[in-house]
Structure 1
Amino acid sequence: MKKILIASAVLLLAALIGVPAHAAALFTDTFDDGDAAGWSRNGGTWSITGAAYQQSSVSAQARALAGTGSWTDYTVQARVRPLAFGAADRTAGIAARAQSTSQYYTLVLTGSGSAQLQRVSGGTATTLATAAVGAGTGVWRTLALTVQGGTLTGRVDGNPVVTATDSTFGSGRIGLVTAYASAAFDDVTVDTTTPGPGPSPTPTTPPPPGGCAVTGAATGFGAGTTGGAGGPTVQVDTAAELLSAIAAAGPMTICVLGTITVPAGMHDVTSDKSIVGVGATAGISGGGLNIGLPMSDVTTPPADAVHNVIIQNLSFRNATDDAINVQMFSHHVWIDHNDLAYGYDGLIDIKRGSSLVTVSWNHNHHHTKNMLLGHDDGNGAQDTGRLKVTYHHNWFDRTPQRNPRVRFGEPVHVYNNYYVYNTDTGVACQNNAGCVVEGNYFEDVEEPVTDRYAGPAGRCVARDNIYAGESGTAVCSGVVQEPSTYYSYTLDDPATVKALVTAGAGVGRL
């Protein structure tokens, strides 16, 4: 993973000539490259450990700073895993507008289980706001600190928890900070957007009489997926009700009301299910959905492979693993019109021989490692000849990489998606995968399409795409099976894709 610093000259020029400036991704670092180049450290013991940046000392104030001192209004976000506090008042978190290692704003987790918004001046911390968020070590939390003029807002796992007004510091770098505590940090991003709130806990639209229904029909490889059609319809608004319904045998349409917080981990979905959010505020938080049998090394698809599943119109937040995982030869799956953010691992991963899947009209944002198709370079025995997936009309919104990252599948059809500020890669096609990438709109994407990202090379065909702003160009070679040999489709004009997708992708837009 590259460390990206995008100069602010474009924004300045836009302001000078009166053209509205687009929000810009300023910086990202996942530490996947095994180094911490660009970070200046003061105090503590810092190292790359397990593809994260770890501060292991509990006997010092420790700070690692990066970025540019001229940054003013922005959001810094990182995943933070406290390892040891030792006392209730010890802290670990992120910093913004750092003018030095003793002058900055910070959002921290404390040993007592609170989130605190602090102003640190001359090395002395003044608490500006505090909120209870739960204590614990060894658990990843996503912290985001927005500084906008004199308004400071702190979010934990996507939820705004603290806010304050203070104008002491007007600009500065970002940082990772601990106070006599040890912690690990990962997936650091800085951009000029403000993170949106998580899904609302209550629906704004009452459930329609008789429940809800799937809207539309899948196109592409997932065509023919009917989900719970022909079975009963149930409405759920608790974790117990949801988990019981998705595990039940037989076809069923499951209407989700409001945001349901489920236990951590992945929760199995059985065949012939439609899981549909009611209105624009339904969602699942705290865990993810698993479509597939338990993992094994079998290479022949089992007769009871999970199949015929639809997930539509749901927001996913704060999954402790994947938000949605499709595995073990599952087939005929349609993932449509969802809003996915703030996960731990992947937002939508498809692997281990799964096939005949369509991923459409989703809005993926505020997450680094977005989507895998094929999990490992050594899994050819299960994956070769499978992993046939269509991705269309999705909004990949500042998701730095894996949009998707593809192994083995052919053809993988990626069309009419809108990519914006993906600071590592758009479509990465590798390990003999064959990708057809067409009619997409790439805006400020470093490597829009490549067959040489990492590991063994793949094959790709890129055509009729738009590369806008500071985007690179496609790096493709080889021959790929045409999706049209499997199904018919109609491309939208790529010049219309940005407007079309931003208006139609996500929840509440069916």
Structure 2
Amino acid sequence: MNAQRWHEHVTSTAVKCVALTGCAALVLGVTGTATAHAGPRDLGREVLAAGDGWASHGTGTTGGSAADAAHVYTVTTWAEFKAALADGGSAPRIIKVKGVIDAVSEGCAAFAAEGYDFRQYLADYDPAVWGNDKPVSGEQEDLRAASAANQDKVIKANIPANTTIVGVGRDAGIRGGSLQIRGVDNVIIRNLTIEAPVDCFPQWDPTDDNGTGAWNSEYDGVVVYGSTHVWIDHNTLTDGRYPDSSLPVHFGKVYQQHDGLVDVVRGGDLVTVSWNSFKDHDKTMLIGNSDGAGATDSGKLRVTLHHNRFEGIVERAPRVRFGQVDAYNNHFVVTKGQKFGYVFGIGANSRLYATHNAFSLAPGVSTAKVLKKWSEAPLTAEHNHVNGKLTDLIAVHNAEIPAETLQSGAGWTPTLRTRVDHPRAVPGIVDHRAGAGRLC
């Protein structure tokens, strides 16, 4: 089947699949064909397929699929969600999220420490008053930090080992919460719309951004910190109701209230990120958070990204340090007029293998900006298509940005791939099947 016919076949099948009123009748298999599925499908019992990215390496990723009936929870509030995470010790668990649960339903004011006054904060640390040569300190900064600590306690949810978190139906989601996968093994997150946490109390750093100052925010939507065997699949991750365009400007800088959508840091390893939709965000995905973290990150940060859709993303899709990162069959969309920095960031000791991806770039967006060199590190970038045409991303980058010449050849070849679609077919396949509510 040629690429065009394959595109049409999968698109048609996917639309039929999404249109179903329930999730029991049809399952779209890995070959793109519709197969009968006996009985209601239980996403909580599903495990990552063998050979599906780095998370399938070794023991594989099964999450809480082995949970007994006592450790299967259906939650409708943030409090119920955190209680389910804390219950049951180390036993496997399945947590089903029904509807949209909100970690900040009472608003930012509920976290503010007594005496904190943002207007006074702006007055105290205005560069015209404070300058740009020293970090902020004093009463209002102390109260801001206390307010931030209050928010931190509420919105962070620590995910135990052997856990599956799955949305029920097509409209399940989490708003304003930060899923912390820290120091554990074997976690699955699927079928959720995750609205990025909003930092209610960003800190002003006068010395950042070459001494002109910047607002620094906390909280990722999902962070994999020193954890292994993590599968993040069929989710929609976005700034949602609070895009950067809605944020105010103070001291000449955007009052940034977002951090990452999915970050893998501090020795996180064996992660598969598949069939997700990443939308309307700035610093999207960080793999390795420090050039000096070789002691914890060398030989780790092995991540696979496949069949994800990125639209309205400014940068870090992903930015990579250390690790062997395999990125294939993703669709990157840069729309007209959006702010755009780069897609793949090549960082310290990274070995990125990026092939068979599709890039849809608006007129005026340079293909050379798909890659961004932060440090000297080789990569493989072959069989990628830009606006439907086979393009050598490294050659284009080196020709247009010779001061940041990139080396070709990552020095390894991925083996953990279930299937590789032709990049011309990727937009049709991924756009119809990636994101929450698309599992049937």
Same fold (TM over 0.5): yes
* 2:311 equivalent to 1:397: yes
- Partner SS for 1:443: strand
- Partner SS for 2:81: helix
Structure 1, unaligned runs of 5 or more: 1-203, 293-304
Aligned equivalent of 2:428: 499
* 2:192 equivalent to 1:314: yes
Deviations 1:197-234 (A, max 9, x none): xxxxxxx9799989752556251101120000111321
- Partner SS for 1:506: coil
Aligned equivalent of 1:334: 231
CA 1:469–1:371 in 2, change beyond 3 Å: closer, same or farther? same
2:80 corresponds to which of 222, 234, 241: 241
Whether the 8 Å contact between 1:442 and 1:466 is mirrored in structure 2 is yes
**Deviation of the 1:490 alpha carbon:** 2.6
Q: Residue 464 of structure 1 aligns to which amino acid in structure 2?
A: H
Whether the 8 Å contact between 2:220 and 2:261 is mirrored in structure 1 is yes
Distance 1:447 1:408 in 2: 25
Structure 2, unaligned runs of 5 or more: 1-20, 25-38, 105-150, 199-218, 241-257, 398-405
Whether the 8 Å contact between 2:193 and 2:436 is mirrored in structure 1 is yes
* 2:130 equivalent to 1:291: no
Distance 2:161 2:47 in 1: 20
For 1:197-212, list aligned pairs within 5 A. Answer: 212=43
**Deviation of the 1:380 alpha carbon:** 1.4
Which of structures 1 and 2 has the larger relative contact order (alpha carbons within 8 angstroms, sep 6+)? Answer: 2
Q: Residue 453 of structure 1 aligns to which amino acid in structure 2?
A: K
Distance 2:347 2:314 in 1: 17
For 1:252-401, list aligned pairs within 5 A. Answer: 252-263=93-104, 264=151, 265-292=155-182, 305-320=183-198, 321-328=219-226, 330-342=227-239, 344-401=258-315
CA 1:256–1:459 in 2, change beyond 3 Å: closer, same or farther? same
Distance 2:425 2:410 in 1: 26
Whether the 8 Å contact between 2:358 and 2:388 is mirrored in structure 1 is no
Aligned equivalent of 1:428: 345
Distance 2:84 2:238 in 1: 24
Distance 2:99 2:348 in 1: 41
**Deviation of the 1:469 alpha carbon:** 7.6
- Partner SS for 1:396: strand
Distance 1:442 1:313 in 2: 25
Identity %: 38
**Deviation of the 1:447 alpha carbon:** 5.0
Whether the 8 Å contact between 1:262 and 1:284 is mirrored in structure 2 is yes
Deviations 1:281-317 (A, max 9, x none): 000011210000xxxxxxxxxxxx3010000000011
Whether the 8 Å contact between 1:261 and 1:284 is mirrored in structure 2 is yes
**Deviation of the 1:449 alpha carbon:** 7.3
CA 1:418–1:221 in 2, change beyond 3 Å: closer, same or farther? same
Q: After the TM superposition, which segments of 4 or more aligned residues of structure 1 sit over 6 Å from their partners?
A: 204-211, 448-451, 469-472
Deviations 1:106-161 (A, max 9, x none): xxxxxxxxxxxxxxxxxxxxxxxxxxxxxxxxxxxxxxxxxxxxxxxxxxxxxxxx
CA 1:389–1:212 in 2, change beyond 3 Å: closer, same or farther? closer
Aligned equivalent of 1:222: 55
CA 1:504–1:488 in 2, change beyond 3 Å: closer, same or farther? closer
Between Structure 1 and Structure 2, how many residues are aligned?
291
Aligned equivalent of 1:58: none
- Partner SS for 1:246: helix
2:412 corresponds to which of 477, 482, 497: 482
- Partner SS for 2:426: helix
Whether the 8 Å contact between 1:449 and 1:462 is mirrored in structure 2 is no
Distance 1:489 1:276 in 2: 22
Aligned equivalent of 1:453: 373
2:92 corresponds to which of 240, 244, 251: 251
Whether the 8 Å contact between 2:384 and 2:393 is mirrored in structure 1 is no
Distance 2:197 2:165 in 1: 17
- Partner SS for 2:407: coil
CA 1:371–1:448 in 2, change beyond 3 Å: closer, same or farther? farther
Deviations 1:35-90 (A, max 9, x none): xxxxxxxxxxxxxxxxxxxxxxxxxxxxxxxxxxxxxxxxxxxxxxxxxxxxxxxx
Whether the 8 Å contact between 1:237 and 1:260 is mirrored in structure 2 is yes
Distance 1:241 1:435 in 2: 40
**Deviation of the 1:483 alpha carbon:** 3.9
- Partner SS for 1:507: coil
Deviations 1:416-459 (A, max 9, x none): 000010722111122120011000001116456766522x2221
Whether the 8 Å contact between 2:196 and 2:220 is mirrored in structure 1 is no
Q: Residue 261 of structure 1 aligns to which amino acid in structure 2?
A: D
Q: TM-score, normalised by structure 1?
A: 0.53
Distance 1:318 1:435 in 2: 26
- Partner SS for 1:213: helix
